Every structure is written in C-alpha cells, then in structure tokens.
Structure 1
C-alpha cells in the first residue's frame, strides 16, 4: 500500500512557519481590531450626517404650515433652534400621533421626538426624556348642551381616545383603581384635534385632550366644554432612544438650559398667550359678521394689503376689533370709521375716514408706518404685536412702555416683556416719570390679544393653507387644491 510522504526539502520551511505562527496570529488580530472602530455617539452621528432627524406630528401645538406658507408651531420653533444650535439641518419626520413618533425614535428612524410627548413611567422603560418643555393638564371634553359628567363613573356615551398614548395608560390605571365599569374606544387612525371635532359635531360624546390643544380649538368650535381634569398636570418633553448613548440628550439639555425659561415663555406667549381673550359669544358674533359684513369690505382689505405689503386678514382683524366692520362707528374719544382713525391721523394720511374704502387704506398705511418706525432689531412676531399696541394707544406711549421695560430689567424688544409693563402707564408712580404720561396700558394689552385671536380665526375661516403633507423646515406654499375652502362661499364649520 502506497502512502504519501513529505519531501525532505519542505521540512525546513514548515518549521519556520510553525515558529512564526504566534506572530502571524497576533498580526492578524491587530489588523482586525484596527478596522473595527467603536460606534460613534449619537451626537457625532448627527454632526457627521449634518442633519437632525426629528419625529413630530402635524398639529397646532407642534408643527404646521402657517398662513404665509412658513413652518410654525411651539415644538417646531424649539427644535429648529436646537438644530441651529448644533449647526446642522433640520429634517422632520411626520407621525400620525405621539405614540407613532416615539416608535420612530425606538426604531432609529428619528434621532428624537418633539411631538407633545407626555412623560410616563411606561415610556421611560424604552425612552429617555429631557426636562419638561411644557406642562399641560389632560381634560375630559364634552359637547355644550349635553349633561356635564361629574367624574369618569358618570359617563353616558362614547369616550374615544388616541391608542397607545398616556391618556389610555391613565384610563387603564383608573379603571383598575376606581372605575371598574369604565369603557372607552381607542383609535390609531385619528389625531386629538380630529377627536375634538368629533365631539363638537356630535359624532362622539367625549374625548380626553391636553389643555393647550383644547384652548386653541375652543375658539373655532365653541361647542366644546371641559368637564374635569383626568389626573394631574402632565409634563411634555423631547424623547430620545434608551438603547443609545446620552450624548444627544445631554446636548439638548445644554441647549434648553442655555435658552432658559424666558425663551420658553416667549414661545408659549406666541402660540397660546391670546387664546382666552374672546369668549363664546365673541366667537359666534365674529362668525356671523364674517358672513354678513365682511363680504362688503373684503375687497377693500385685500387692496389695502396689496398696497402696504400686509396680510389682509390682519387688517381685517384690526378693523373688527376697532369697529366690528361698522363704517358708521364713532367712539366717545372722537375716532371714526371702520379703522377708528383720529381726525389728525386722517388729515395726515389725506383720507376721508368716514369712507369705508379710504378708512381701510388709511388704517393700513398708518399701521405700516408704525411697523417701519420700530427699531430694526425687533423681529417678528414681536414687531407686529408692538405695532398693534402702538396703533391702539399711540407710538409715544409704546416708547414709554419700552423704556420702563428696559429700566425694570426686561427686554424692550420682546412683546412678552413689554406687555407685562403696560399697566404701569396707568399708575402715577410710573407714568409721572415718562415722556408721554398716562396711558390705558391695560386696554392696549387686551387690544393686542383680541386682534391676535381675530386674526387666527379669520385665517382659519377664510382659507388657511392645509397642514403640511410632507415635512419641510422651509416655507412651503401648498397647492390651491390643498387649501381649505373659503367659508364665505360655503357653510363654515364654525357657524
């Protein structure tokens, strides 16, 4: 039987290879570990990518496209500032509701969620949260005209809420502890705002929504009523993945620390600071006048807006606050017409203030002059709110209020700070040291709040651009077929 044998000439080579074996293994190991660098931190990943991907929802409390096509919303403004602070672009990923937004974070589709996310113990198991950016109270909502329930045990009808959210978690807890007969429906196909509309229209009997969203929607659907809070105040925060490092979360905490409570208060005022200025009767009166009076003057408002570069709905809101669009309106102080101009202002503008078209154009030109007179460092929307205060009480008194704000440590370029000092102009201790003296500062503060509310309602009632179908941090002008129809031509849902 033949067997194979190793040639004697090969033996020395094999010996050398065996002696080198350990060295070869070490070299291979060093090569391997040199090519396997650690996973970059989440913050490094964002900066390398140059993009911060944020999950959010399309709603008036988070992110939406505003009247002029610009992105807006409390959460949007805040997270856009964070992206700028990081030096990266912002990319929004739209979710149907907050639970879906948190799922995007868990799956890695988004780096964080800024979508009015309620902090709860169950969510802390798979998410990390920043400090609260806002605090709201969950409320049970019912329709005006029906019996007001006293507690969850007295509900008589359909209660529908968002599936998988903190409200569902709270109801399960209350059912186990106090209300064993409690029943409700959960939906994953609707947003909280849609459920509020369903209550207002009578489709369902109850829902649970956060206090900020309710306050915004009661202006448009005055049928909505609040029965009672469902639990304690709820902190809302940004959510980050729990299975990644804390680098991006820590950066967000530093950003929120840096901007401080003052910036959060400014954003809160921008989006919620005026929502309680008009009651149910005021809402219904405006809705009636939109149908009966505004059609006579809409063209004049639009023309004046085109001449001055303003939004015609803002001019109409000023006119409504001044006169309820009554061309014959006269004030005890002597102002007259739709825009309630003084004789001196009308003479300066060379217009007949009792002629509706001229009054509207004159008011628009006067408001534009006030806007242009303000220092260039004042940015929007503070610029518009300050100009409105000046329209009501006079530019000189606004200068006094800004100076008092500066003296008392506030920012004279911020409406929120100036607004708090306006009432001082009614007190001798303060107005005696100003250049222009006494002014009805309380009235100016209410005036601005009312105009802001009327403007928001007119935008909604006369064709606000539809909320964005695709997320974009850049201004987007929606196609005409995506806009809400003009309720001046059809029945408005508010009427």
Structure 2
C-alpha cells in the first residue's frame, strides 16, 4: 500500500493551506454559532436560569433517585462535533458508568468551569465533568474529586514561533470556558501593556489567532490537538506551567451516587473503558499537523470528488459505507491517482492486488470499477467479522487492517493476542500485536498500524470539514449530497 507522501515544499503552499483550511473556518467562527453535524441530532436544549439544559435526557427516566444532574462546559472533549466516532469522550465515558450502575443522565451545560463549580458546591448539580479544571479554593467538604485520568499541559499557540528567548506577545487570548489564564504568559522582559481578549468558544479564539501574526492563545494541549487540523497554520510555540489534570467532581450529598462513582473509578473496568475510549477518540491524532499535508489532502479530495464523486456515492450507498470513510481509504491508497502503482504491484485508486481483482471480477485500472470493487471488498471483510463480537468501530478498524495486510494476517494477530492472555477484540490491543507479526511472518505489521491510523485521521478531518462548513460545503462536490447520511451504519 502507498506510504505517506509529502510534496509542496515551498513557502507558497503554506499560504494556500492557510487560505483553504484556516480561512474556511475563520469566517464561520467570528461569532459563536451552533455547529450542524452529520451525526444524529442531540436532544433539544433550552435556557433555564444560567444553564443550558437537555430537555429530553432519557426517554424513560428511572425516578429522581436514579437521575444524575450533570454539569459540563460545551467543548469538543465532552460533546463531539468534529469526530465521527461518537457523541464525545466524556459523554460516552459517563454513559458507560450510568449503564453499569443503572442511572439516567440529565445534562446541564454551564458557561464556564467556575460557574459549574459554584453550582456543584451549592447542590444545584450532582456531578461536574469539567475538563482541565482546578478549583482555586480548597475543595468543599461536600464535594469529592475523582482521580486524574489524564494530564494536559497549557501551551501558547501562535502562527509563528517567538523570536529568541523573549516571548512578549501584544495580544493574549483565552477562552471563557477554561481556567487557563493569560497571566501564565510571563517573561522578565515583558511589560504590562499586553491586551487580554477572550472568546466563548475555543474555535472562535483559534480563528482570531490564526488571523493575526502577533496574537497568542493560551489553550491546553489536549483540546488544541482536536482543533489543530482545521487551523494548520497554528502551532504550539511553547509549553507553559504545570500539567492540568482532567477529573470528575461530585457532590457527597447523595451517598449512593458518591459510592458508585468511587467504586467505578477504582475498578479495573473503568481503566479498560478509559483506555478504549482514549484510543477511539484520540489514538489516531498526530502530535503535530503538517500544513502541507493538509493542503494536499484538501486539494486531492476536491479533485477526487469532482471526478469520481458519483461513483463513490453509489458504492457507499450500495455497500453501506460512509462515503467520507471510503474517500479516506482512497486518499490513503492512491491520493486519487487512478494510475498509481506501488512497489509491490498493487495499482489503481484502491490499490487492489491482481488476485483480489480477479476474485472481484473487475479491472483494477478502471477507476469506476476500482471504486465499486474496493467498496465491495471492504464490505466483504466487514461481513466476515460478524461472529467476532466486536464493537462497531473496532470492527471497522479490523476491516481496514485486513484490507491492508490481508484477512489471514488479521486472524494471526487476533490469535496471538489471545495466546498472550488478551481477548483480541479491540484495535487498541491489536495495535501492539501487529508489529510482532513482522518478525516471523510476511505481514508488514507496522505498516498495518500506520495504515489504520492514517485512514482514521483522514476520516476525522473530512468529517470535521463538512461539519464546520455545514450546507455551504462545496469542496466535496457530489458527496455534499450525502454527507448528512440519510441511513448509514454510522448513524
């Protein structure tokens, strides 16, 4: 299969990617707005007092004693909009707890962590899952802090690196829903003339920084990684301060709930769930986004959609594959080059082997047949995993690994995982197993891992671009008709 390609080594490409990607989202985020996603609609919300409440948290509530009033700020870590992989890391983690202990969730979204903290200490909520938050006051005796399940360091984000050792930006920006402070930017050479600006949402802040060569934003590295692909001109220019813990806080006024939460976080199940969700939502993200690679992705996807969009739409609907996922696979395989030939002899848009092409009865050099045949082969691999008892996404990741290195090598990886005491049922497990196959078999295990991770990343970026642009998105050509996905296995 084809490896990562890096063209565009000139300065002009940097300007182009800024115009194509940063420019795309910058004007949309000059004012706060509600993002329209291609995922199922979230419950209707209304303003009540100073919180935004979900009006239908559970279609069959189990009574007041089993309802948890949950407070959070609106952000990508809690409630996903960019990601195609689920409702959100924090939201899904809490739902796993609620399912295990038979609770219903009633979501309340606050404007800031400080506001949520005050509501929790006053008994107006039962649980606060604000991320990257440390209360300035000593913990209230009626509030318990859960264990820190992750740490992210605050970073200064800018379009350019600071000159020399002095770092004195004219403008410092922070978001209103974080406890990170502009005051964290300190230097012996800095005066007191810096302006501090704020924005309700992180993308608004990043858009403003991307549009200024002098402005700097203070964000935590965890949240910045989720947004950086859509602001490729931005980079973390310097780490700042000590790492910020991510944890839950809950009221002790409900002893039963407090006991269940404590038991959950002490259990081996929580560690397993935490590992799986971390891999699902963040495991594919690169440490840094290459702006030139992002430029190439957008350019080639635009080209592919304009030339073969109708074929992709037909194949996606016929074989129940998200068209954006299919596009991510095509991009990884050939960069939408219908004449691409790899060193191992595979060729065409989907880089299909000669044997597989004969089995499928297609001419792999014909792009129309290659798209239909590649989608059919992906679906056949998916169907072959029916009895493996996999989650939806692990099943797709296994399918991608089998597409890259063959179904027999997937079976070997699974068998080896089981022989080593595992279950062979998650991609997070097989990620560490595949490289071991390279030592004794013909399987290129490291390549399989890179392949799956790259396809996942491209899929995330394509989905995010569609979400951000909403109905105005035209770059995907014919695919713009189906990105809202009437019916799909991803709904």
Q: TM-score, normalised by structure 2?
A: 0.77
Highest Rg: 1 or 2?
A: 1
* CA distance in structure 2 between the partners assigned to 1:149 and 1:213 by the alignment: 25
Of the three residues 320, 328, 337, the one matched with 1:309 is 320
Of the three residues 438, 441, 447, the one matched with 1:443 is 447
* CA distance in structure 1 between the partners assigned to 2:373 and 2:185 by the alignment: 59
* CA distance in structure 2 between the partners assigned to 1:302 and 1:489 by the alignment: 11
Q: Is the 8 A contact 2:185 2:240 kept in 1?
A: no
Q: Which residue pairs with 2:201 in the alignment?
A: 191
Q: Which residue pairs with 1:458 in the alignment?
A: 462
Q: Is the 8 A contact 2:113 2:130 kept in 1?
A: yes
Structure 1: 5+ residue stretches without partners = 1-44, 432-436, 467-481, 491-495
- Alignment of structure 1 residues 14-93 onto 2, 5 Å: 48-65=64-81, 72-93=87-108
Of the three residues 393, 414, 426, the one matched with 1:402 is 414
Of the three residues 88, 103, 110, the one matched with 1:95 is 110
Structure 2: 5+ residue stretches without partners = 1-60, 478-491
Q: Which residue pairs with 2:215 in the alignment?
A: 205
Superposed displacement of residue 348, structure 1: 1.2
Q: Is the 8 A contact 1:175 1:182 kept in 2?
A: no
Q: Is the 8 A contact 2:158 2:209 kept in 1?
A: yes
Name the Cα RMSD after superposition.
2.9
* CA distance in structure 2 between the partners assigned to 1:51 and 1:247 by the alignment: 12
**Quick check: 1:297 aligned with 2:308?**
yes
Higher relative contact order (CA 8 A, sep 6+): 2
* CA distance in structure 1 between the partners assigned to 2:259 and 2:62 by the alignment: 13
* CA distance in structure 2 between the partners assigned to 1:448 and 1:424 by the alignment: 16
* CA distance in structure 1 between the partners assigned to 2:248 and 2:98 by the alignment: 13
Q: Which residue pairs with 1:148 in the alignment?
A: 162
Q: Which residue pairs with 1:388 in the alignment?
A: 400
* CA distance in structure 2 between the partners assigned to 1:446 and 1:263 by the alignment: 23
Q: Is the 8 A contact 2:128 2:249 kept in 1?
A: yes
The SS at the match of 1:219 is helix
Q: Which residue pairs with 1:343 in the alignment?
A: 354
The SS at the match of 2:247 is strand
Q: Is the 8 A contact 1:327 1:337 kept in 2?
A: yes
Q: How many aligned residue pairs are there? A: 413
Shift in CA distance, 304/100, structure 1 to aligned 2, threshold 3 Å: farther
Of the three residues 176, 179, 184, the one matched with 1:166 is 179
Shift in CA distance, 416/52, structure 1 to aligned 2, threshold 3 Å: same
Q: Which residue pairs with 2:472 in the alignment?
A: 485
* CA distance in structure 2 between the partners assigned to 1:407 and 1:324 by the alignment: 38
